[in-house]
Amino acid sequence: MSHTRHPATGPLLGLTILDLTRLLPGPLGTMLMADMGADVIKIEDPQAPDYVRSFPPYVNGESANYLAYNRSKRSIFLDYRTPEGRNQFLHLVKSADVVVEQFRPGYLDQLGIGYEAARPVNPRIIYVSVTGFGQTGPYAHLAGHDLNYSALAGVLGLTGEGPDFTGEPGPPVIPGVQLADIAGGSYGCVMATLAALYARERTGEGQQVDVSMTDAVMPLLSVAYASFAGGQSPERGSMPLSGGLPNYGVYPCSDGKYAALGTLEPKFWQKFCGLVGKPDWLGFLLPASPAQLADFKQQIQSLFLERSRDEWTQFGLENDMLITPVNTLADLETDPHLMARQMILTQEHPVAGLFRTVGVPLKFSGTPAQPAWPAPEPGEDTNDILGLSSETDR
């Protein structure tokens, strides 16, 4: 099937990105930019396509993971390890703005399609290189995954339950989402691309940007490391915003579900204590010991067990009380606020059929961003792109 398709709206309209990435970090980052209007061309080796295509679960034979972070892109098969494929890739570079790649440092240079090979073809080209540990340093060439990067960066060491009655914190807990992959890799990819494009507007020159997922996840430590640099020793579950305050935590409700209490400021805590008839709780803000913190939390937990999660949610809404439901994934699809923000969308894929996916997180008043089409079939746009590339050379 031959057809030409391009994004129709979004702040990045007119931007062309060659996407060599696989799995999660790079593909999600390039998808976010595709939703914002960039023409993202997903390039896969026909002998070794994106591994995520084979990851379960499947929807009518299509990987749900592939569908989730490859929408709004065009897809071509290109064996860039052969002389012909290398030449075709560099030909595409002539009319591209950005290349996003996720290989180990130096791999693309060995193939003759790295930044140094592309720069003579297009001095304005930007290479965004996303890796676990960066292009330099003693770990640069090592393999890794999200857990490794979060562990090395110190994020994992701060994630878990706080001290028990003995004063000892619980073990590190693996987060429920991929912090380093997404906050470090995907968002880092978008940030690097946009910053390099702005620099190119001033200098007229492209450049390579080194995005290390380990480095890029470390700003998540900003609050904790500020305390550490100031002479304190933050521990798992004991910092004010991660379990150290009884008025800022998660509590079970009468229906077995959970609610998040975020009454951080004294004025909100004072208001909460008044509304629930507990004026003696005003002194709970600064527990003197782990035992006292556990006692305060137990008293608040007993209160929350008197009502269901939805009742506490309504109480929070009616009184502007910083109480929100701890939603399950199923809850997201009925939450009125998330629905109003279009954060769960449904697309119709030609093979998978109707498929639900996370929406576009950024809202633009003048250049709205939106998914252009579902994730493409493997190599679906190969003939179209390779046949038209010579007509769009700069």
- Which sequence positions are flagged as catalytic? 181
DSSP structural state of residue 57: P
Question: Token digits for 242?
Answer: 């991660």
**What is d(CA 355, CA 370) in angstroms, rounded to the nearest whole number?**
16
H helix intervals, 102-221: 107-111, 115-118, 146-153, 187-203, 213-217
Query: Which residue carries 């109003």 as its tokens?
Result: 340
111, 180, 317, 357, 384 from 28: Cα distances, Å: 25, 13, 33, 12, 24
- Mention every residue, 6+ apart, whose C-beta is less than 8 A from residue 24: 52, 65, 69, 178, 181, 182, 185, 186
**What is d(CA 28, CA 59) in angstroms, rounded to the nearest whole number?**
19
Closest CA to 140 of 95, 101, 112, 106: 106
Q: How many residues does the chain have?
A: 394
Cβ-in-10-Å burial (0-12, 13-18, 19+) of 307 comes to middle
Q: What is the CA radius of gyration of the chain?
A: 25
- Mention every residue, 6+ apart, whose C-beta is less than 8 A from residue 35: 10, 71, 72, 360, 369, 370, 371, 372
- How many alpha carbons fall within 13 Å on the CB side of residue 79? 6
